[in-house]
């Protein structure tokens, strides 16, 4: 099995940044048994990837030169060293550090884990003595096809009377066109023809064919090779002279919704099982990613198989982070890379190194081996008419996307291989919105994507990065995760592909079908409300007609207060599906439900568009019938009636410097609200729970404001409480209602300044040392269940998810230090929440439109700027809007985020102790 030797218990671990990497050698031995029937054949060893220098010997005889370069396929002819039917000893010596300084710098002085070993498959292959050695296709979307074939002849005969024949078939073996024939020209054959009856390949329509190629002499087939190909055309058009600029696939402009990906798995390092490559590709498609930059080195064959078949555009990249290969070794590695991947329809661009690892002498080498002449560019540089600048702020991106800006015109002039006379370069940030921990990724993506969509120069962009590279180290007493600090945890998914909150943003912002649910229409300047929703579908696919998809919908019951404790999912009231009429890319269609919905049934109306594979390609939710069209709001609250329900009266007494209020509601078993007058500690207590809160403070303030006076407050509805007057805060009122609900409300005078949020710090009432230690590490909230936007927390610049009933507990948190998986702590758009602590459970309902804060989002100390404006305390809070999150490189304001607005002048937070949590808690997350 391919592997890196560090994960097999050998050698030592090195991150690419390490200055003194371990100089290690590995020796592999295996007995080769050559089948007798291979007599007269050409026999090769094929290595798909060896880190880093490989010396091959058979029976002690060296086979070819030492191969230097870890990420490339190389072959060694061993025909003259083996006997059919014989047994031979194969030895491969592997040096972890390359003897070529440029290889060492380009591949291993890098921002990723570097390993040693034979990490990709090795195989023994037998060919006829006269055989096809390599095929290179250029198949265009309109059916034109050019084939260049190289033939090896180890026999005494010549190729003068040989012919090459080509058929095109479906993958099921159905004939499409052919045969097409050509004669030899030296050791090569070329066929140029037109293939009729083919469908074009694209990420939306990944239609593949099999090219069957035969080498024939005197009617005898000497060798047959089958190659999977796709017919598609890739163009970078610079614009000008009334021509639209951009990346064109099959004559249609395409924006790349991209993610950077390394081949990595936490327990096997760079040696990745093909199943992982396929799962990753499927996961990316489900997130509506349409492009992958195989960053820093070429990907595995299996990933390209998946990209071809599932439909992903791929940037195939020559290694080189901040340093480039020398021309001699680099030219050979470019040849190996291009010859392996030249026939992949998914590969649309070649990248010559990255962030300084560019060698200009290698640009032409790509085209020498690629009859398609795919564009070659340099990530993080302006080259060949393409601006691939990394990590622009939002303002920098705007400037680069503006055709008339002086910066764009200046770049075009000084780009010696630019995109046409006077034309600004096309813009493709191949890394942006760095997703360290819970920062970046989907946060800020909406603003960036709007800029990209609105510019004629944009080609799209690639988020950094897909996966957290956390290696499970085997060199300690027990396995442990290691990300080399904040160097490797950059993913929008975790090490084992745990989805993060950014997944919801990608699925929403990059969904190819935009859905609007109309509940009213305007005719003759009159607004008429619709009983039956009218569904508008906008086809954002580049190449797919919506007739290949279908629509499904359902009406979900809005949960009651009791459902927050008892229900595991929302009740489906009614559901259905519908076909979609032909709607080409860029067009709009409308659907009305038949039969119509019952107008008397309110609920949460959810609509999805699903493609032929079952993938959801668009989703929208809306209330019906009370909310505005296509707009979600919080729980249509039954809380006032519940809160004001009369049990017995609320009584008040004073005791040892405290004001104590008590309700004897039969529904709650009695609730007590008390305040300690000296330090303003508020306690909410019932028979099953007790919660202590410190003095209320404005969000972002480190100190609680001074209390000027406290007064008694009585309501005509039977509530009793106290009014608190603070310096710098509006009037705050605590009330206990007879039903057992506690209301914290505020009321500001005209002109009085309001903070963006109000915070109630937890005070740990737990007495056990174990519980106190757990709370110091994880915070006070042990679990959260809520009706609202989920399944993850939100930030001000990442307000994405689905409305539903969700929950998470500490035991369910996965990789919390990276911000992946569910998290108890954070900001929630919630109509109703239940917070579970060691001191009991608390129901929480914020005012309409407010964002609920539970606990404190936690980050490792090396998070740099990937933090939001957040309170340095654990507790409960309400904000007018969630604060925003930054990236590893920029604070939120550089990503287009604005400060949270002030709270409304009037609002409230309702609290009530709840019964213990049910034991059969459902999982809060969904697989992307």
CA distance 735 to 742: 6
Coil, strand or helix: which one is 771?
helix
- Exposure class string for 87-123: b at 16+ Cβ within 10 A, else e: ebebbbebbbbbebebbbbbbbbbbbbbbbbbbbbbe
Q: What's residue 779's pLDDT?
A: 75
Coil, strand or helix: which one is 716?
coil
Q: What's residue 669's pLDDT?
A: 60
- DSSP class of residue 861? T
The helices-and-strands tally (H runs, E runs) of the chain is 12, 59
Q: What's residue 84's pLDDT?
A: 96
Q: Say yes or no to pLDDT of 355 above 70.
A: yes
Q: Give the angle subtended at the CA of 347 by the CAs of 343 and 353, to the nearest 5°.
A: 115
Higher pLDDT, 402 or 404: 402
* Mean model confidence pLDDT for the chain: 89
Q: What's residue 927's pLDDT?
A: 33
Q: Say yes or no to pLDDT of 616 above 60.
A: yes
pLDDT, tens digit (0-9, with 9 covering 90-100), for 868-914: 777 767 899 999 999 999 999 999 999 999 999 999 999 999 999 98
CA distance 874 to 852: 13
Q: What's residue 141's pLDDT?
A: 98
Q: What's residue 415's pLDDT?
A: 53
Q: What's residue 680's pLDDT?
A: 84
Spell out the residues 6+ positions from residue 69 whose beta carbon is closer than 8 angstroms to its own: 52, 98, 103, 107, 319, 325, 329, 332, 333, 336
Q: Say yes or no to pLDDT of 522 above 90.
A: no
Q: What's residue 763's pLDDT?
A: 86
**pLDDT, mean of residues 484-493:** 93
Largest CA distance in the chain: 111
Higher pLDDT, 848 or 55: 55
Q: Say yes or no to pLDDT of 635 above 80.
A: no
**pLDDT, mean of residues 346-354:** 98
38-52, 542-556, 773-787: least confidently modelled range: 773-787
CA 36 to each of CA 76, 222, 524: distance values in angstroms, whole numbers, following the listed order: 20, 19, 87
Question: Percent of the chain, pLDDT > 90?
Answer: 68
Q: Say yes or no to pLDDT of 458 above 80.
A: yes
Q: Say yes or no to pLDDT of 38 above 90.
A: yes
Closest to 232 in 3D by CA, of 250, 244, 218:
250
Q: Say yes or no to pLDDT of 814 above 70.
A: no
Both tokens of 757, joined, read: 């949020």
Q: Say yes or no to pLDDT of 258 above 70.
A: yes
Beta bridge pairs of residue 604: 556, 623
Beta bridge pairs of residue 583: none
Beta bridge pairs of residue 725: 709
**pLDDT, mean of residues 624-644:** 45
Q: What's residue 861's pLDDT?
A: 81
Q: What's residue 906's pLDDT?
A: 93
pLDDT, tens digit (0-9, with 9 covering 90-100), for 408-434: 555 555 554 444 456 899 999 999 999
CA distance 354 to 332: 18
Judge contact between 537 and 580, C-beta under 8 A: yes
Q: What's residue 537's pLDDT?
A: 98
Distance of CA 20 to the CA centre of its chain: 34
Q: What's residue 678's pLDDT?
A: 79
Residue 721 has a CB neighbour count (10 Å cut-off) of: 26
Both tokens of 26, joined, read: 């590995």
Q: What's residue 648's pLDDT?
A: 62
Higher pLDDT, 769 or 134: 134
Q: What's residue 242's pLDDT?
A: 72
Sign, Cα dihedral of 576, 578, 584, 587: negative
Q: Say yes or no to pLDDT of 919 above 60.
A: no
Helices 406-414 and 394-401 meet at what angle, rounded to 10?
70
Question: DSSP for 25-59?
Answer: EEEEEEEEE--GGGTT-EEEEEES-EESEEEEEET
Q: What's residue 315's pLDDT?
A: 98
Coil, strand or helix: which one is 592?
strand
Q: Say yes or no to pLDDT of 923 above 90.
A: no
- Name the helix (H) or strand (E) containing 578: strand 572-579
Q: Say yes or no to pLDDT of 713 above 80.
A: yes
Q: What's residue 637's pLDDT?
A: 47
Q: Say yes or no to pLDDT of 833 above 80.
A: yes
Q: What's residue 408's pLDDT?
A: 52
Phi-psi region of 159 (alpha: psi -120 to 50; beta: other; left: phi over 0): alpha
pLDDT, tens digit (0-9, with 9 covering 90-100), for 1-36: 799 999 999 999 999 999 899 999 999 999 999 999
pLDDT band at 161 (very low <50, low <70, confident <90, very high): confident
Exposed, middle or buried: residue 617 (CB in 10 Å: 0-12, 13-18, 19+)?
buried
**pLDDT, mean of residues 63-82:** 97
pLDDT band at 609 (very low <50, low <70, confident <90, very high): very high
**pLDDT, mean of residues 467-477:** 93
Q: What's residue 714's pLDDT?
A: 80
Both tokens of 448, joined, read: 């960036």
Counting Cα atoms < 13 Å in the Cβ hemisphere of 204 gives 24
Higher pLDDT, 722 or 332: 332
Both tokens of 853, joined, read: 């804060």
pTM of the model: 0.93
Q: Say yes or no to pLDDT of 407 above 60.
A: no
Spell out the residues 6+ positions from residue 281 whose beta carbon is closer than 8 angstroms to its own: 292, 303, 306, 307, 310, 312
**Phi, psi of 7, deg, nearest 5:** -80, -5
CA distance 552 to 609: 6
Judge contact between 635 and 844, C-beta under 8 A: no
Q: What's residue 863's pLDDT?
A: 83
Q: What's residue 64's pLDDT?
A: 96
């Amino acid at each position: 099995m391919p592997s890196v030797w560090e994960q097999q218990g050998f050698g030592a671990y090195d991150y690419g940044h390490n200055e003194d990497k371990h100089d290690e050698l590995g020796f592999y031995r295996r007995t080769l048994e050559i089948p007798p029937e291979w007599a007269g054949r050409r026999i090769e060893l094929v290595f798909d990837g060896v880190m880093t220098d490989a010396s091959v010997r058979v029976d002690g005889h060296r086979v070819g030169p030492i191969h230097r370069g870890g990420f490339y396929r190389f072959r060694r002819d061993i025909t003259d060293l083996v006997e059919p039917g014989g047994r031979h000893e194969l030895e491969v010596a592997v040096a972890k550090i390359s003897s070529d300084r440029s290889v060492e710098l380009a591949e291993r002085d890098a921002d990723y884990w570097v390993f040693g070993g034979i990490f990709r498959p090795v195989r023994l292959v037998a060919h006829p003595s006269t055989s096809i050695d390599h095929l290179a296709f250029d198949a265009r979307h309109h059916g034109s096809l050019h084939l260049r074939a190289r033939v090896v002849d180890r026999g005494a005969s010549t190729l003068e009377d040989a012919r090459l024949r080509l058929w095109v078939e479906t993958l099921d073996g159905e004939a499409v066109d052919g045969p097409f024939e050509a004669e030899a020209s030296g050791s090569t054959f070329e066929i140029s023809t037109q293939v009729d009856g083919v469908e074009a390949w694209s990420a939306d329509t990944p239609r593949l064919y099999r090219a069957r190629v035969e080498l024939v002499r005197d009617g005898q087939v000497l060798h047959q090779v089958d190659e999977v190909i796709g017919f598609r055309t890739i163009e970078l058009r610079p614009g000008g002279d009334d021509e639209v600029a951009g990346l064109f696939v099959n004559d249609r402009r395409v924006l790349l919704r991209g993610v950077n990906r390394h081949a990595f798995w936490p327990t096997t390092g760079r040696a990745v099982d093909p199943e992982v490559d396929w799962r990753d590709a499927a996961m990316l498609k489900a997130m509506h990613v349409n492009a992958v930059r195989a960053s820093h080195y070429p990907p595995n064959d299996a990933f390209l198989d998946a990209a071809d078949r599932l439909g992903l555009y791929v940037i195939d990249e020559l290694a080189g982070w901040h340093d480039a290969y020398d021309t001699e070794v680099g030219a050979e590695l470019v040849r190996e890379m291009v010859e392996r991947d030249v026939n992949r329809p998914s590969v649309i661009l070649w990248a010559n190194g990255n962030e300084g690892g560019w060698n200009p002498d290698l640009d032409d080498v790509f085209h020498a081996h690629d009859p398609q002449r795919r564009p070659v560019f340099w990530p993080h540089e302006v080259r060949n008419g393409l601006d691939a600048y990394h990590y622009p702020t939002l303002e920098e991106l705007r400037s680069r996307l503006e055709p008339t800006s002086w910066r764009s015109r200046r770049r075009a002039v000084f780009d010696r291989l630019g995109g046409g006379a006077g034309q600004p370069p096309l813009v493709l940030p191949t890394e942006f919105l760095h997703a360290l921990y819970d920062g970046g990724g989907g946060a800020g993506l909406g603003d960036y994507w709007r800029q990209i969509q609105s510019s004629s120069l944009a080609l799209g962009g690639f988020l950094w990065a897909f996966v957290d590279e956390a290696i499970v180290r085997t060199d300690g007493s027990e396995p442990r995760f290691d990300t080399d600090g904040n160097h490797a945890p950059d993913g929008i998914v975790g090490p084992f592909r745990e989805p993060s909150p950014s997944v919801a943003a990608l699925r929403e912002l990059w969904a190819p079908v935009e859905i609007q649910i109309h509940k009213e229409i305007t005719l003759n300047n009159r607004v008429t409300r619709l009983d039956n929703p009218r569904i508008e579908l906008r086809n954002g696919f580049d190449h797919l007609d919506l007739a290949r998809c279908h629509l499904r919908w359902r009406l979900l019951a809005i949960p009651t207060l009791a459902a927050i404790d008892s229900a595991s999912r929302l009740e489906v009231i009614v559901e259905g599906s519908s076909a979609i009429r032909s709607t080409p890319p860029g067009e709009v269609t409308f659907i009305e439900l038949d039969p119509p919905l019952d107008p008397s049934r309110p609920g949460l109306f959810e609509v999805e568009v699903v493609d032929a594979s079952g993938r959801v390609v668009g989703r929208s939710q809306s209330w019906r019938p009370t909310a505005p069209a296509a707009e979600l709001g919080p729980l249509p609250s039954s809380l006032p009636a519940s809160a004001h329900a009369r049990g017995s009266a609320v009584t008040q007494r004073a005791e040892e410097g405290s004001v104590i209020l008590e309700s004897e509601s039969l529904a709650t078993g009695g609730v007590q609200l008390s305040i300690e007058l000296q330090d303003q500690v508020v306690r909410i207590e019932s028979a099953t729970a007790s919660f202590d809160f410190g003095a209320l403070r404005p969000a972002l303030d480190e100190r609680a404001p001074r209390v000027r006076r406290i007064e008694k407050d009585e309501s005509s509805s039977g509530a009793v409480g106290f009014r608190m007057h603070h310096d710098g805060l509006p009037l705050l009122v605590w009330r206990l209602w007879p039903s057992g609900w506690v209301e914290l409300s505020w009321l500001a005078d005209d002109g009085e300044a309001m903070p963006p949020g109000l915070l109630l710090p937890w005070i740990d009432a737990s007495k056990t040392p174990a519980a106190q230690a757990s709370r110091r590490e994880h915070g006070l909230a042990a679990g959260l269940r809520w009706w609202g936007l989920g399944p993850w927390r939100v930030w001000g610049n990442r307000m994405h998810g689905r409305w539903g009933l969700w929950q998470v507990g500490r035991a369910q948190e996965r990789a919390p230090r990276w911000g992946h998986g569910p998290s108890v702590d954070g900001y929630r758009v919630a109509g109703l929440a239940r917070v579970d602590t060691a001191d009991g459970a608390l129901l929480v309902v914020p005012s309409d439109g407010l964002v609920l804060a539970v606990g404190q989002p936690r980050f490792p100390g090396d998070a740099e700027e990937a933090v939001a404006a957040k309170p340095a305390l654990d507790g409960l809070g309400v904000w007018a809007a969630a604060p925003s999150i930054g990236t590893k490189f920029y604070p939120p304001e550089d990503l287009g985020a604005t400060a949270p607005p002030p709270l409304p002048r009037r609002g409230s937070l309702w609290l009530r102790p709840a019964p213990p949590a049910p034991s059969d808690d459902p999982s809060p997350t969904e697989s992307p």
